[in-house]
Amino acid sequence: MPGKHALLLAPLMLSAVAASAAPLSCPSPKPDNLRAALAHAPAAAPQAMPVVHTEGTLPHQGLYDQSVQAKRDFDYMRVLALAWRTRRDQAALDRLSNYFDAWTQVYRPSFNPIDETSLDGLIDAYRLSAADLPAATRENVRQLLRALAEGYLARMQTMPAANRGTLVNNWQSHRVKIATLAAVALDAPRLLNAARAAYLRQLDANMRADGSVLDFAERDALHYVVYDLEPLTRAALAAKQMGQDWLDLPGASGQRLRTGLDWLLPYAEGRQRHEEYLHTTVKFDLQRRDAGLPGFSGEWEPKSAAALYWTASLLDARYQPLAQRLAKTPPLWLAAQCAG
């Protein structure tokens, strides 16, 4: 539980005197890393499916294995877009257009945010390449992104009270992320304003004044704190591209995204430890533990928060020392977040 097993490690101080609060420039992809990523396509051709589904299922059940493989296309599409933006690699742009065409021809949004959160790779790829895509391809992707943004925003407004659990837990954070990223990629202020309102509602519903989140109370797992904060941090970074500061946007009780990031700091820094899922109220957590899936038992691994704090470092440079402690270099996909 929180506070147990403190380690004698010096904390990373996030005071105003410790470092500048100015956001960092996005890291440039290292040529060798980008070249290696380009060379490792997930398959010989796009793996487009009408729907992807992994939520609530275990490996080898239903569409799980096929969906996991297919969703790797989205990360690869972002790599192709980075190759185009940084190297003007025409072959990468042509291949990216082929991926867009394959997916927009068959994919139809399910509006399950856990299944669809990895669409961020496709959305990033569009934002980086939109001006250079064939007109028909560009329009088809825009239709998909508009369907995602409008569909998720509408569902967040109209879902019945019976679904309150997923209206306030990590599911809602992922809905906010998808809607925000799509709104920014479309350069649609009306949709972004609606996403901002949904973001604030999620802060109010999900985060306590001290920065702890509902998912931690329900799951007794820092894994789900990260899983809740990551999409909100991605949404805040996307909003920053449109000139808005969501890191310190206050909820009704004064809670901010920064408050949640700072609540997790003692665990991410290693000053406090936590045994995962000991008191979870969710049966599926126990099923995944019993199936031997990694991360569903034992002590939480701080390195699993590396991507979260690397993303946060683009909102406030004072998170960079912690990000570098957790992972020496940022993930390749982070290079796509400020390019546009």
**With 70 as the cut, is the pLDDT of residue 326 above it?**
yes
Taking the model in full, what pTM does it have? 0.91
Mean of pLDDT values over 185-204 = 97
Buried b (16+ CB within 10 A) or exposed e, 264-300: bbbbbbebbbbbbbeebebeebeebbeeeeeebbeeb
Residue holding tokens 């487009």?
48
Rounded to a whole number of angstroms, the distance between the first and last alpha carbons of the chain is: 42
Show the domains of the chain with their CATH numbers.
31-336 (1.50.10.100)
**With 50 as the cut, is the pLDDT of residue 322 above it?**
yes
Q: What is the pLDDT of residues 201-252, one digit of tens each?
A: 999 999 999 999 999 999 999 999 999 999 999 999 999 999 999 999 999 9
Q: What is the pLDDT of residues 145-185, one digit of tens each?
A: 999 999 999 999 998 766 688 999 999 999 999 999 999 99
**With 80 as the cut, is the pLDDT of residue 7 above it?**
no
**9: pLDDT confidence band, cut at 50, 70 and 90?**
very low
Q: For the purposes of burial, counting CB atoms within 10 Å of the CB of 204, is it exposed (0-12), middle (13-18) or buried (19 or more)?
A: middle
Q: What is the pLDDT of residues 50-72, one digit of tens each?
A: 999 999 999 999 999 999 999 99
**300: pLDDT confidence band, cut at 50, 70 and 90?**
very high
- Residue 192's H or E segment, with its range, is helix 189-206
CB within 8 A of 253, min separation 6: which ones? Answer: 204, 208, 209
Q: What is the pLDDT of residue 339?
A: 62
Cα 86 to chain centroid, rounded: 23
Q: What is the pLDDT of residues 103-136, one digit of tens each?
A: 999 999 999 999 999 999 999 999 999 999 999 9
